[in-house]
Structure 1
Amino acid sequence: MSGRGTSASSPTPTSSFSSFGESWKEPASYVYTLTSSEGERSLVGTFRVTVRDGKVAKAVGLDESGRGAVRRAPEEVPTIRGLLDQLARAHDEGAHTAEAEYAPEGHPVRITLDPEKDTVDDEQSYVISGYQPDPAPAGEQP
């Protein structure tokens, strides 16, 4: 997969499998918004995710689908590293589609997976927005 290059002043995401994903260092604590769509699976909806010590500490469904998913299976809401691990696994297993777009800072902003070309409803699409590294824990002043 070829990437779209960016200049230092351009916020345009780049596309490739590993150009940034392998070099991006996930901070121990951060927040992000995940919009998960496509396919027949339980993790569909929009979520605000808080990660502490590398694990999901809190996931809030921001729409009806997201609230239902958090109620049914909160453990399925991933960290960004978890999403990158899914991408790497799909790539290693020869998925029809295993693509990512990255922000200039290196974190992914979109991950698209489709394990089998001719299988219906196995696609997965993730959009990552509102990423903020190292937020202060609730109750602490920065």
Structure 2
Amino acid sequence: MTARTAKTARAVFKTALIGGLLCAVAACGTETPASHQAPWQEPDAYTYTLRSSEGERALIGSFRITVRDGAVAKAVGLDDSGRRVVADLPDAVPTLGELLRELEQARRDDADTAEAEYAADGHPVRISLDWEKNAVDDEARYVIADFERAAG
């Protein structure tokens, strides 16, 4: 190996090492809230938009959800599927706490996929579940948007 090749190899190694460290420091994986933050506490009152998809679960569709005193106080279906769920199965519309409990149960049950991404304040923004990799229609995908704590 020539001196020039060795310098190039060291430069590539250093660049890869620095990139890896930056990725780790920046929390490239969003599996958990930043370690310096306290765990997210579900507020008693908030609103959020939920898009639920995948599988043949009862909860498929898009919803605008209002939570008061830790329970769903109002759910509005934003698409045909969401409107059907709200009309036929209003108790199926979850709070964020219920979604997080479903995630934890999937982890306890050793689901093949039980992942979440979190916003900077710690609330979930995406939850992906798949109890059995080779099973059909046992998946759940939740996308959470427009989260707002209620004034209080």
Aligned counterparts of 1:4 and 1:110: Cα–Cα separation in 2: 20
Tell me the secondary structure at the aligned position of residue 50 of structure 2: strand
Quote the residue 2:100 is aligned against.
84
Going from structure 1 to structure 2, the CA distance change for 1:30 and 1:118 (only over 3 Å counts) comes to: same
Q: Provide closer, same or farther for how the CA distance between residues 126 and 5 of structure 1 changes in structure 2, counting only shifts above 3 A.
A: farther
In structure 2, how many angstroms separate the alpha carbons of the residues matched to 1:131 and 1:57?
Answer: 15
For 1:51, the aligned partner's letter is V
- How many residues align? The count is 127
Matched, 1:111 2:117: no
The answer (yes or no) to whether the contact 1:98–1:114 under 8 Å persists in 2 is: yes
For residue 29 of structure 1, what is the aligned residue in structure 2? 45
Would you say the 8 A contact 1:29–1:54 is kept in 2? yes
Shift of 1:72: 1.1
Q: CA deviation at 1:6?
A: 3.9
Matched, 1:127 2:127: no
Distance 2:65 2:26 in 1: 28
Give the match for residue 13 of structure 2. none
Q: Aligned partner of 2:125: which letter?
A: V
- How far 1:14 moved relative to its partner? 5.2
User: Which structure has the greater CA radius of gyration?
Assistant: 2
* Counterpart for residue 109 of structure 2: 93
Which of structure 1's runs of 4+ aligned residues deviate more than 6 A?
none
Superposition RMSD on alpha carbons, in Å?
A: 2.1
Q: Which has the higher helix share?
A: 2
The one-letter code matched in structure 2 to 1:15 is T
Report sequence identity in percent. Answer: 53
Does the 8 Å contact 1:6/1:104 carry over to 2? no
Aligned equivalent of 1:54: 70
Task: Say whether the 8 Å CA contact 1:14–1:103 is kept in structure 2.
Answer: no
Gaps of 5+ in 1: 8-12, 137-142
> Which whole-Å CA distance do the structure 2 matches of 1:102 and 1:4 have between them?
16
Contact 2:33/2:119, CA 8 A, preserved across alignment: no
Judge conservation of contact 2:106–2:131 (CA < 8 Å) in 1.
yes
Shift of 1:69: 0.8
AA aligned to 2:80 is E
2:33–2:120 Cα contact (<8 Å) kept = no
In the TM superposition, residue 41 of structure 1 has moved relative to its aligned partner by 1.4
What per-residue deviation string (whole Å, max 9, x for no partner) do you get for residues 48-87 of structure 1? 0000000000000000110011111000000000000000
- How far, CA to CA, are the matches of 1:4 and 1:52 in structure 2? 37
